[in-house]
Chain A
Amino acid sequence: MNIVVLVKQVPDSGTERQLDSSDNTVARASADNVINEMDEYAIEEALTVKESQGGEVTVLTVGPDGATDAIRKALSMGADKAVHVSDTAIHGSCAVQTSAVIAAALSQLEYDLVICGAESTDGRVSVMPALLSERLGIPHLSGARKLTVEGSTLKVERQTDGGFWALEAQTPAIVSTWDTINEPRYPSFKGIMAAKKKPVETKSLADLGVDAGSVGLATATSQVLDFAGRPPKGEGVKVTDEGDGAEKLVGYLAEQKLV
């Protein structure tokens, strides 16, 4: 079973992240960029499926040149090879445009299964797999907390409020994973060394046959008009419990008419 895992490089969600005031896009150059944490679960799942079904795991990333770090991480976990779509024209693309680029790249690959994270930690739009499913005409099994492969039949437990939905579809298909699906492995030393020799193919929009004018800020389907830091909250009150903490807490709630 050939699997493509979609991996995005994002600014570290544990640090202060910013938009760039020159064009209202994510400030990626100045950020501490890492692999989208949610995609590690997708990689782990792809490797698990490969271990039971055989085949190859290809990593696909659309992002600036610096995104090679995320690719290396995926390769060091055990993916076999990578495709990196990088083209300055893509800068500032909306999700709709990005999905056209990813779909074009997928069309040049052989896959039975595409696995991706349920959301990125920067855009958090959490629709990329649905957009790709729509564009490629393949089924989407979304929000998986469990994936079972039985021949060409895929079974997914889609996590819901207080339970799950049992989903079924045939390959080729796209599966998006939640962080409840597995525990991603750490790259081993051997894995890190091996990753350095694994093939990474870089493709431009021209290689994909995508018109550069159809992507990027100028033709994005939505536009950020302006942004601002969230207004700072008024300085909060902090009390130390000296036997009266509960009383003060309830006093605050009463004052705010919350009890």
Chain B
Amino acid sequence: MNAINNQTVKQKLKQYKNKPLSIILLSLVILSSAITVLILFFIIIYILIKGIPHITPSLFEFKYTSENCSLTPALINTFITTALALLITVPLGIFSAVYLVEYAKRGNKIVGVIRMTTETLSGIPSIIYGLFGYLFFVVQLKLKYSVLSGTLTLAIMILPLIIRTTEEALKSVPDSYREGSFGLGAGKLRTVFKIVLPPAVPGILSGVILATGRIVGETAALLYTAGTGTKAAWNILKSGRTLSEHMYLLSSEGLYIDQSYATAVVLIVIVAGLNALSSFLAKKITKG
């Protein structure tokens, strides 16, 4: 933060001697940005410092007991949930986006409806998804509190994200690619799969990773769909908590603050890693 000021502060002071408003605005701008960055660093560094000393081998034991508070089962459940939800939603989302970008004709009414519903879905809070998942999957379809119920709920939740990022990725493929492909006599389907989708892959992947981040961080939608079972749900019809749920339950009990810090570290490392990967891929598109 200091580096820029060194160069300009002296000149600015001279220039702005009789312009207090400008100085106030400048300091507010710098202050606000500093607050934004400092809050993030404070949260992360505080949790790392408090949490890393409590990362012990017992935290990673294969079975959870109330003594070791192992997070391994929750980690496995997070992995299962993420993999299944992506498996369902990624193809659906990509196909939706392909329809919207490549197939739908301009002014098509259904496109407007699809856009509107997708926007609506992306604005619905996770607790409403949780409520819906409970009413529909848990009660109506009789799936009970299970990883499957949770997964299906999250699959709907990340759908708008996948559609939107895929749409953007497809739109960034130049039209000349499509024209070239049609010009050589390829059909629409072949053009989509062989010509348009491949260069869009990094953009789609960055969306998929963002969606993974949302699944890993989700709690409210899972409490009453996946339930809070402490075992690894190798059988997805059984209840099982994910890492975020585990983190919430640990900290709300009040007895396991140390373990909560350690779990928070693991969660932050996963989320930060996903974030970095996503922006790396996003950069790749703007370059290529």
A and B held together in a complex: no
Interface residues of A (CB under 8 A from B): none
B-side residues, CB < 8 A to A, are: none
